[in-house]
Amino acid sequence: MLDQRLVRDKPDAIAQELGRRGKAVDLTRLQLIAQQQRSLEEKRSNLQADGNRIGKEVGQRIKAGADPKSDDIAELRKQGNVIKQKVAVLEDEEKQLNAELKDQLLNFPNLPSAECPDGKDESDNIELRRWGTPRTEDGLEEHWQIADRLNLFDTERSVRIAQSRFVTLIGQGARLERGLINFMLDLHTSKGYREVLPPVLVNTASLTGSGQLPKFADESFRCAEDDLWLTPTAEVPVTSLHRDEIIPADQLPLRYAAYSPCFRREAGSYGRDTRGLIRLHQFNKVELYWFTHPDHSAEAHQQITADAEAVLQALELPYRVLDLCTGDLGFSAQRTYDLEVWLPGAGAYREISSCSVCGDFQARRSSIRTKEGKNTRLVHTLNGSGLAVGRTMAAVLENGQQPDGTIQLPKALVPYVGMEQLKPE
């Protein structure tokens, strides 16, 4: 969430930065609300100071021998009661303005960092580097064709169980998925991440704190009779691990690796990636998440990206890294590096991880701070897929296909799957 002090004092700067994201905004009304809120806060504070002064004076006079029932004491108490009534009225008015201001601010995305390249859409993203040599032979199959031939998952029966855009992994497919999850978690925990297995159901406060609500309500699955939602990403519950907390500065950074099933409606994506594992309503993901000191978030962004890249390198999967432009940033991000893995059957790079630094945006929404001496500051948060498991499976299948129809697994994955190749069963 944006800092309301900036709305009050520097609305033009906010409008300019949101303009970099392609959003034209008029902050006149919000600025007025913020100014009114600040004015009420000052009036209330001054009145409370007067009330405290009167209360102190009453105590001092009685201590000095004044009759507690005297007219002077009664008059002072009357003045104190009048002040209390005025303070109560101001508190109500201030609470209403705060609620209106917060409701409005929750709909504004994060401001892009100064280093984030300007641009309108994904065509303006900047490629930073590539790793590995992409396979480009003719006749390579796409992953869903391989899966169909090797009987790795079933979509038709999944429609019977649920609806379209769900899959049931079978045999070697289920074993490969499980192996990928364990491999990713072991790799990240070996680098110092603390493993987390969070709830799959999350409440509204958790989704709001991480930035999914109110913006992405239509893309989330909700339990109608409870204040619970199916989590769209482990980023949501991990953000709320420390909601409303003060984290001592000497404990930062906190680094978590969380496995979770994820659920998304994929609103607006119908007709796209209808086959295979790329765009599903339910998928598995290992998420990397950092709570870091605000002075070190830039270095943390480089490290979390490198940690996600390490998975692709260990699995021998060619990929490229993109610096997303302002017009392609996610709602909560200040800056994002996308990792795109090469799918030789499709002949294209596809996103497999977004590594984002969010600054204090999520921390302000979730009230997560750090303390140095007597001073408190909002922490900075970062997140990145490490990796999306289904898309990783797709890449392993397409990059490992052999002339005899088998799939050669990456050496690092063999101990986790218990076989070197996938073969027709």
Which domains does the chain carry?
4-105 (1.10.287.40), 122-422 (3.30.930.10)
Burial class (CB in 10 A: 0-12, 13-18, 19+), 416: middle
pLDDT digits (tens, 9 = 90+) for 135-144: 999 999 999 9
How many CB atoms within 10 Å of residue 262? Answer: 23
Of the listed 141, 351, 377, 420, which one is catalytic?
A: 351
Amino acid at 58: V
Q: Is 264 a catalytic residue?
A: yes
Q: Are strands 254-263 and 194-196 parallel, antiparallel or unpaired?
A: parallel
| 0.85 exceeded by pTM | yes
Report which secondary-structure segment, H or E, holds 42.
helix 28-63
Strands (E), 224-265: 228-230, 245-248, 254-263
Asked whether the beta carbons of 121 and 327 are under 8 A apart, the reply is: yes
Q: Are 171 and 179 in contact (CB under 8 A)?
A: no
pLDDT value, residue 272 = 64
pLDDT at position 68: 80
Q: Which of 20, 44, 264, 365 is catalytic?
A: 264
Active site residue 178: no
How is residue 272 written in tokens? 């796209």
User: Known catalytic residue: 194?
Assistant: no
pLDDT (tens digit, 9 = 90+) per residue, 84-112? 888 888 888 888 888 888 888 999 999 99
- State how far the Cα of 225 lies from the Cα of 386, in Å rounded to an integer: 33
Residue 134 pLDDT: 96
- Rounded CA separation 372/378 (Å): 11
CA distance 332 to 111: 8
Give me the catalytic one of 354, 356, 366, 385.
354
According to the model, what pLDDT value does residue 420 have?
97
Catalytic residue among 279, 320, 350, 377: 279
Question: DSSP character for 118?
Answer: P
List, for the chain, all residue ranges whose pLDDT scores fall below the cut of 70: 267-273
**Catalytic (active site) residue 351:** yes
Please give the Cα distance from 5 to 27 (Å, whole number). Answer: 13
* Catalytic (active site) residue 279: yes
Q: Beta strands 335-343 and 348-357: pairing type?
A: antiparallel
Cα 359 to its chain centre, rounded Å, is: 11
> Which tokens go with 357?
């630094």
